[in-house]
Amino acid sequence: MLRKLLVALIVVLLPACGGGGGGTEEDGGPVATPAPSGPMVVLLRYGGIAGSNDRVAVDALGVATVISDRSPNASTRTLSSGDLAALRTALQRAEITTLQRNYLDRQARDAYQYDVTYQGVTVTADEGVIPDKLRPVVDQLTKLIP
């Protein structure tokens, strides 16, 4: 019975997904926009005096997922439209593709190190030498860590 209901539901909903006769760009019909997959930006923060590890990932819709070794469960929250817009602006202004890949301070002890990944590029920086262009991104993302 459940199987028949599931098959009927699929038959009814499948055409609404653009699975045939929905049109293409060429004929002016609707074109399906793929849902965002994966995070827009990821921040890894590790080190410090306690040697902690935190991960913040924010997707294109503003859903932030935080994983920390200080908490047994991941936490999720949705950024306000203003916070998401500010993050997007900071990411654009960072011009991450123009930055060096590593900003390391060999003298740093017990400092946090950050990896910021955006548009397929990862920049690693020690706390004391985060590039000025990248600092607003790091600040906004670390605010999400409890």
Sequential pLDDT tens for the chain (146 residues): 333 333 333 333 333 344 444 444 444 545 544 555 799 999 999 998 888 999 999 999 999 999 999 888 999 999 999 999 999 999 999 999 999 999 999 888 889 999 999 999 999 999 999 999 999 999 999 999 98
Which of 60, 56, 62 lies closest to 43, judged by CA? 56
Q: Both tokens of residue 138? A: 């790091």
> Can you give the pTM of this predicted structure?
0.74
Residue 66 φ/ψ, nearest 5 degrees: -115, 130
State the angle between helix axes of 135-142 and 81-94 in degrees (0 to 180), rounded to the nearest 10: 150
CA atoms lying within 13 Å on the CB side of residue 31: 6
SS3 145: coil
C-alpha to C-alpha distance for 42 and 134, rounded to whole angstroms: 13
